[in-house]
Amino acid sequence: MKSLEHAVVGAVVGSIAAVALQPPGGVPFLVVGAVFLSVFIDLDHFLIARFERGDWQNLRTAVTNPRVGLVDQEGVFPEFGPRFNLKRLLSHHLIGGVAVGGLAVAGAATFAAFVGIVLYAHVVCDFLRDLELA
């Protein structure tokens, strides 16, 4: 999904989760955090691309051409196939597991649940897009 789409999903899911769970921090702050998390978890794509290509060309493309980086995001990783998508989704799961587990161990169980819900929605949206269902 594109960043704007993830931001909208993050705002909706974050709002519902914030109202339902009432974690500390206040609903507006948590919604902003959900949007931030929903969008910026995708930065892991650039690390995966770096390991795949051996250079930072994909990041340079996104940074030096705002149209590609913000609007035409399909043009950022055109050379990668289905294995890239699998690595991207695995990376999201690993990041989510570490974040949720770390928060739970730190005693912030409600916040861990909030982060887990937001990241779950992100990954489901990625799967739906990859399967061409959304």
Q: What is the pLDDT of residues 65-75, one digit of tens each?
A: 877 777 777 77
* 33 inside domain: yes
Q: Is the pLDDT of residue 14 over 80?
A: yes
Q: Is the pLDDT of residue 91 over 90?
A: yes
* 122 inside domain: yes
The model's pTM: 0.89
* HEC readout, the chain: CCHHHHHHHHHHHHHHHHHHHCCCCCHHHHHHHHHHHHHHHHHHHHHHHHHHHCCCHHHHHHHHCHHHHHHCHHHCCCCCCHHHHHHHHHHHHHHHHHHHHHHHHCCCHHHHHHHHHHHHHHHHHHHHHHCCCC
* 40 inside domain: yes
Domain count across the chain: 1
* 74 inside domain: no
Residue-range definition of the domain harbouring residue 16? 3-49+81-130
